A and B are shown apart, each in its own frame.
Chain A
Amino acid sequence: MDIGSMTEPCITLSGITKNFPGVRALNAVGLELYPGEVTALIGENGAGKSTLVKIMTGIYQPDAGEIRINGKSVELSSPHSAFKLGITAIHQETVLFDELSVAENIFLGHAPKTRFKTVDWSAMRVRSRRLLKEIGAEHIPAEAPLKELSIANKHLVAVARALSVEADIVIMDEPTAALSHKEIEDLFDLIGLLKKSGKSILFISHKFDEIYRIADRYTVFRDGEMVGNGSIQDTDQNAIVQLMVGRSVDQVFPKQKVAIGKPVLTVEDLHHPTEFADITFKLNQGEILGFYGLVGAGRSEVMQALFGITQPSGGSMTLDGDAIAPKSPADAINSGIVYVPEERGSQGVVANLPIFQNISLPSLARTSRSGFLKLAQEFSLASEYSTRLDLRAASLSQAVGTLSGGNQQKVVIAKWLATKPRIIILDEPTKGIDIGSKAAVHAFMGELVGQGLSVIMVSSELPEIMGMSDRIIVMREGRIAARYDNDGKLSPEMLVRSAAGIEEVAA
């Protein structure tokens, strides 16, 4: 990094402090971005990364500290002033306007004007096309409504927007979270392009492989403090993880050895008109079966069919030897299958309702008789499972929304365990959560199979799927592409190749 260290930083933040009522989000942190370089901002959830991004884009004002751009002290008093100073951000969920066209999105707020101060639509389209071509996205029509684009293409529009104002500083806040493998590769090519044109890039990601692929420097935050920075070449993954968590993490995946029993669930030739086909597999007692694949490979759709949310057009399922065909989630829950969806926050808890009502919600059929609730039974069910999971709450009548994140998670788990399931389907169980919470979820999965349950885990994270699964099924384009036993011989490359449909080169 000789070139990098000789260049002056494009933007320097120093001593940035930001307080919220009762919380110090950032405590005198610093950050430097260099032209033509990617700096990775690393930290667990709640480390203060998002707060810093909001300060850099003018959404929050720091309580103390200084920001210099090209040596000059500046004040980012509003998103508009940050934008004018050449700072632009690309978010995880792109913040663009679905109902507007691609060109309008690129030029919103600084549209080219005619002599009469009206919008010059033709100039806007022409310049949009040129910008899209520059970033290798000429396949996106400038007139198309944004809502018709995929997330990856929306990112490209956001990049074009960044270039349209000649932003020098591009912030990417977990841009890969919703992208498939192939789309991530394209994004990385684009980042390379931006680097070459001398932009300073701040890249925020949870994924170490990505950070190592494209970052030149790193800055690590922990609990609102800057705990380390430097050149990425001079460090290794363990050192960064240690900085992040402040302790060394040896064993992230506490997979217990559990005796695998008889088949519990068999799925035979399951079909869906548009989403998937030829899905055949077995799930054994005490087993964690991993489903790997790219985003959009049809994994969640298969799980939703098992859970009765969608109806397959053909095929059969048996549970403990009896044929089942769940017509609704209620059906599936009754037969012993539960599905913990991806967004546990929005899809898991009913925040205003008390803890005991949340826990009993999927079990209402059992805690009521002909529609009338049996409150005592409901309460004892809730207290049984909250004790088992060591739930910390003042009372079971407390609203779930007032609990901490970890305890809310326990409520979600308690509510599914209370249905006495045979099979738990976990869809991306640790997506976007910090390392500490991940470990808790993984430990809990180990306990589940220890108690004789079977788990199907849908995950797009290689370390997780390889660390936790007994067997792995890889899906591609709605079909099963490969099956692996997770023995010592399985390599991540094999999974990625199967998922992407790359033929194995004869070695």
Chain B
Amino acid sequence: MKSLLRARELWLAVIIVAMVTAINFRAPGFAAPANLAGILNDTSILIILALGQMAVILTRCIDLSVASNLALSGMIVALVNAAYPEVPVQLLMILAVGCGLVFGAFNGVLVWLLGIPAIVVTLGTLTIYRGLIFLIAGGQWVNADQLSEDFVQFTRIEMLGLPLLSWYAVLAAALFFVVMTRTSLGRSIYAIGVNPVASVYAGINVGRTTFVAFCISGMLSGFCGYLWVSRYVIGSVEVAKGYELTVVAACVIGGISIAGGVGTFAGAILGALFLGVINSALPVINISPFWQMAISGAAIIMAVVLNARGEKRGNRIILRQTGEPS
């Protein structure tokens, strides 16, 4: 099973490389390192969000409020920056993470203590958080000229050839590698996703682990709120509207099972990169953005079909083994 999973991620990587190579024939220069670095930078926010979403989906839940959380946290730090430009941007980043944590924890508490299905809770908070942006900003935008130099630069400063924004994604990936494979939290997240009942009897607090997953997703969404406002130099109600579906799509394409318990951090990253490559390739080779949607959609269905077939094959192996005379 595990080697099958690894193979699945390998295949996704191969497909991405093949896509890049093919596009490079039509549009020479697409595969140039500078352009690829650009794609990575454009996809960084999606990668970070997909990693957080993965943690939630692994626990058999879903967080549809990520984009609203992002927009609200982003608006909060943008407003603070506009009002108090002297507050250091590092503090604002921490504030963004803190805001995201609060919003994520609110989701988590409702799921954990009130036992409301996650899809309902986050569908509700998706609207609530989006509405709160109106309230705190009074319907106004925060424009480029209101943001401080530091605020805008902290996603753009280059380090070893990559902008900081890309480095944040790399850092998130490294963090998730450690959390998912080397901590008891990561192990518990997988265990409750595969078999919640067995996990209870093994002494894992299923509700609290789910809550923590929502907190993780919330923190990353909040952080991405700062990244988004800084990168696109705008804070508004419309920021990242509908983006939660792109995030879920990245996870599904990356082989993370909506049924929980199956999927890896590498899958989430590759799923996001797949969408990122399509995103930046289609304009280059003159394909309409509508095709872009159709291709993402087809990729989602393909991924689900492949996942379902992979799981079925696992079952057949079991049957054959038990069927053998021992």
Contact = CB atoms under 8 A, between A and B. Distances in A.
Interface of A: 20-23, 46, 307, 309, 328-330, 332-333, 339-341, 343, 346-354, 357, 361-362, 364-365, 368, 371-373, 375, 397, 399, 401-405, 415
B195 A350 contact: yes
A340 B187 CA distance: 21
A66 B30 CA distance: 67
12 contacts: A22-B323, A329-B203, A341-B197, A346-B198, A361-B187, A361-B191, A372-B184, A399-B2, A401-B1, A401-B318, A404-B321, A404-B322
Nearest to B321: A404
Contact of A354 (B2, B185, B320): B2
Given A352-B262, A365-B203, 16 more contacts: A21-B319, A46-B322, A332-B203, A350-B198, A351-B194, A351-B195, A352-B190, A352-B194, A353-B191, A354-B2, A361-B198, A373-B183, A397-B2, A402-B317, A403-B321, A415-B202
A351 B195 CA distance: 8
Contact of B194 (A22, A309, A353, A415): A353
Contacts of B195: 346-347, 349-351
B224 to A, nearest CB: 25
Contacts of B200: 309, 329
A329 B202 contact: yes
Given A352-B1, A368-B184, A371-B184, A23 B204 contact: no
Q: Which of A328, A361, A362, A373 has the most CB of B within 10 A?
A: A361
A41 B168 CA distance: 65
Interface of B: 1-2, 182-185, 187-188, 190-191, 194-195, 197-205, 261-262, 314, 316-324, 326
B175 to A, nearest CB: 13
B127 to A, nearest CB: 29
Kindly list the 7 A-B residue pairs having the minimum CB-CB distance in the complex, ordered from nearest: A23-B323, A330-B203, A399-B1, A362-B202, A361-B202, A329-B203, A364-B184
Contact of B205 (A22, A328, A402): A328
B2 A347 contact: no
Contact of A372 (B182, B191, B198, B201): B182
Nearest to A367: B184
B320 A329 contact: no
B323 A348 contact: no
Contacts of B187: 357, 361, 364, 373
A22 B320 contact: yes
Q: Which of A20, A21, A46, A352 has the most CB of B within 10 A?
A: A352
A339 B199 CA distance: 12
Contacts of A368: 183-184
Contacts of B205: 328, 330
Contacts of B191: 350, 353, 357, 361
Contacts of A307: 201
A22 B202 CA distance: 35
Q: Which of B198, B199, B205, B314 has the most CB of A within 10 A?
A: B198
A333 B314 CA distance: 32
Contacts of B314: 399, 401-402
B262 A20 contact: no
Given A347-B198, A352-B262, A361-B204, A372 B183 contact: yes
Nearest to A349: B198
Contacts of B319: 20-23
Q: Which of B191, B205, B320, B324 has the most CB of A within 10 A?
A: B191
B265 to A, nearest CB: 15
Contacts of A361: 187, 191, 198-199, 202, 204
Given A309-B200, A346-B197, A362-B203, A402 B1 contact: yes
A399 B184 CA distance: 18
B182 A375 contact: yes
B184 A402 contact: no
A364 B203 CA distance: 9
Contacts of B2: 354, 397, 399
Contacts of A401: 1, 314, 318
Nearest to B190: A353
Contacts of B182: 372-373, 375
A401 B5 CA distance: 14
B199 A364 contact: no
B188 A364 contact: yes
B201 A341 contact: yes
A199 B243 CA distance: 62
A46 B325 CA distance: 12
B176 to A, nearest CB: 14
Nearest to A25: B323
Contacts of A350: 190-191, 194-195, 198-199, 261
A330 B187 CA distance: 15
B202 A402 contact: no
A367 B81 CA distance: 45
Contacts of A399: 1-2, 314
A322 B190 CA distance: 35
Nearest to A354: B2
B198 A405 contact: no
A206 B194 CA distance: 31
B194 A402 contact: no
